[in-house]
Structure 1
Amino acid sequence: MDINHRIARRVRDLRDAQGLSLDALAERSGVSRSNISLIERAQSSPTAVVLDKLAAGLGVTVASLFEPEATPWEPSPMARVADQPVWTDPASGYIRRNVSPPARSPIQLVDVIFPAGQRIAYDSPARETDIHQQVWMIDGVMEMSVGDDHWRLETGDCLAMRLDRPIVYLNPTRSPARYLVALVTLPYVTPRRMG
């Protein structure tokens, strides 16, 4: 299946499963109704920033938008490299491969190749899910900002964070960087008020 058709089907299926209209998802995600409609018809190749906003509005990880459709049988616990969906961000050229098998697991792995000199800023709306992420640098250098905190990651470094603040990825070098992202989604617990 073409990657844009896979994204289209997943966004539509997730929206339908939650009983959200196009207008409701537009309001929750900050993505226009017309843009969501184009994405759901596979007539638009969304950028990484748009996918992040849609994922936040749907309460899932971006990696979830690349999963295969549900089947009546148990999905395989094996993900052969030839079957792993690969997507290229049309804005930055970064390439992401969803490594995780289709079998349901609380852990999602994503292999990213980030082009030299590129920058992506995610400023998603508040999420209704608690998503934790670790970025492990396989090769190269990345500068990351998570809210007001800033780090420089070099080969072998690993950074853990929650997806609850704006995040900026920057490759300040003239060489591509490669990193692995590990994601875990936990049930969101509303903080208790004291008093």
Structure 2
Amino acid sequence: MSKTAGVGDNLRQLRTAKGLTLDRLAGMSELTRGYISLVERGLKAPSIAALMRMAAALDVNVATFFDPKAAAGPRYTLHRHEDQGAAPAANGSFGLFALAAARPHKSMEPFLLRPPFKTSPPSVRTRETIQRAFHSGEEMLFVVSGRVAIELDGEEFKLEKGDCLYFSGETPHQVNSLGRQRAEVLIVIATGKSEKR
């Protein structure tokens, strides 16, 4: 099973366990029913913002989508390169690797992102692209390799390996790879609170 399908299966199980329909979860997360359905069937890799919105709606940590049986409260998590747990890049989508999925109660969400190449101008973006391009909390983006373009509320920045950008996640944003190879970007999202249950 692909990691995209694994995230989708976990999402479906969480949604049904809470007695929510696709329409109800769509309304609660401000995403469309069709988008969530594609994610659940493993046909679309969800964005970080979409995962955060669905996690908030389901009242779970984002890590639950990657590892629903994560042990509660380990002292630390160690992520090794060969253990990449990811939603693989496919069909113009992006690769998304949760770097601390085993630690469910945390105030930061770290990811390794392989952004897609830009396929259409901003004026042609769909409602879903715009909807999934912002989230609560703050975000730090560090370019590990390659080059990226990031749009922040209509302004575009071009970043290279070693560049770092810190901004409010509530600012509409979109990241795309530049050049011939997909970039790798470390993204850390701080929600401002540790989820202790």
**Partners of 1:15 and 1:151 in 2: CA distance:** 37
Q: Which amino acid aligns with 2:150?
A: M
More displaced stretch, 61-70 vs 93-102? 61-70
Q: Which amino acid aligns with 1:46?
A: K
**Partners of 1:109 and 1:67 in 2: CA distance:** 13
Q: Secondary structure at the match of 2:8?
A: helix
For residue 108 of structure 2, what is the aligned residue in structure 1?
Answer: 107
For residue 92 of structure 2, what is the aligned residue in structure 1?
Answer: 92
Structure number with higher strand proportion:
1
Structure 2: unaligned runs, 5 residues or longer? none
The answer to whether the 8 A contact 1:139-1:179 is kept is yes
For residue 43 of structure 2, what is the aligned residue in structure 1?
Answer: 45
Q: Percent identity?
A: 19
Q: Select which of 98, 118, 130 maps to 1:123.
A: 130
Normalising by the residue count of structure 2, what TM-score does the alignment of the two structures yield?
0.70
More displaced stretch, 66-75 vs 135-144? 66-75
Normalising by the residue count of structure 1, what TM-score does the alignment of the two structures yield?
0.70
Could you give the per-residue CA deviations for residues 86-112 of structure 1, whole angstroms, max 9, x where no partner exists? 222433253222222512322222122
RMSD: 3.5
Moved over 4 A (4+): 16-19, 60-63, 71-76
Structure 1 residue 85, shift from structure 2 partner: 0.6
Question: Structure 1 residue 22 and structure 2 residue 28: aligned?
Answer: no
Q: Select which of 51, 56, 59 maps to 2:53.
A: 56
Find the structure with the greater CA-based Rg: 1
More displaced stretch, 159-168 vs 60-69? 60-69
CA pair 112-126 structure 1, distance change in 2 beyond 3 A: closer
Q: Secondary structure at the match of 1:24?
A: helix
Q: What is the total number of aligned residue pairs between the two structures?
A: 181
**Partners of 1:185 and 1:160 in 2: CA distance:** 14
For residue 179 of structure 2, what is the aligned residue in structure 1?
Answer: 173
Structure 1 residue 58, shift from structure 2 partner: 3.8
The answer to whether the 8 A contact 2:64-2:70 is kept is no
For residue 68 of structure 2, what is the aligned residue in structure 1?
Answer: 69
Could you give the per-residue CA deviations for residues 101-150 of structure 1, whole angstroms, max 9, x where no partner exists? 512322222122345x43587422697x7321111012222111111332
Q: Which amino acid aligns with 2:44?
A: P
The answer to whether the 8 A contact 1:14-1:58 is kept is no
